[in-house]
Amino acid sequence: MNFIFLVVGHTKNAADRLFNSLKVQYRKKNLYTFDMLVEALSSSRTITVHPTVAEDFLDYGKLFDFFYKKLAGQIQQNHIFSSGQGDEIRVRESVLHQEIILRVFKKNMDSLSNTQVQDYAQGELAQLEFDGINPYKVYELFKHYRPYVPIEYQSDPMYAEPSPEQMAKVKSEKVDRKEFRATLKKKKYDNTKERLEAVAFGDLEEGMA
């Protein structure tokens, strides 16, 4: 299995071309629902669209934590990853850099058979719980976008009116954002004031000393 992530300045690869193929049709249309988006994307002759469902989102993070070591801090600079059936992952920063081999299994994982691994996965791999769309985004879709959507699409769940709980979170977040902006503005003002005073009075204070 090979993963190749985009390298800054070198993004014109196969994945990029496929995304461009998707844009051919949908960028020319007004799309108001997810069904309309899927239909537009499916019109591409080179792309097959498979819409996701809730059952597709499983907690692989918890499962992988049981089998594999944490690699935080060891792989951030790399863009190319390769792995086979063993516990080795081969990583490199680019095709011009030397390949590095990492051992990823936790202790005693080598003793497990494929059947044991599959049994554990089937027993532990659970569906992720959906927490819903960000309440602020729900509010924006209803308040700012829905009025410009044709009437026949305004009943789509994407433009549903926020619940009282969601509205309470939005109001709380608005207050937090306002306070954050005010604090940030004050810090900028204080820093600017200090710099100006240092420039204006610095020489005078040194002379008096």
For the chain, helix (H) and strand (E) counts, in that order, are: 6, 4
Q: How far apart are CA 25 and CA 81, in angstroms?
A: 33
* Measured CA distances, 185 to 172, 178, 180, 192 (Å): 20, 11, 9, 11
Looking at residue 62, what is its pLDDT?
A: 85
pLDDT (tens digit per residue) in 161-198 = 999 999 998 888 888 888 888 888 888 877 887 777 77
pTM value > 0.85: no
Helix-strand-coil percent breakdown of the chain, rounded to 5?
50, 10, 35
Q: Which tokens belong to 170?
A: 């939005």
Nearest in space to 142 (alpha carbons), one of 125, 132, 152, 155: 155
Among 117, 100, 132, 116, residue whose Cα is nearest residue 63:
117
Residues β-bridged to residue 80: 4, 92
| Structure confidence at residue 156 (pLDDT) | 95
What is the tens place of the pLDDT at every residue in 15-67?
A: 667 777 777 778 888 999 999 988 888 887 777 888 888 889 999 888 888 88
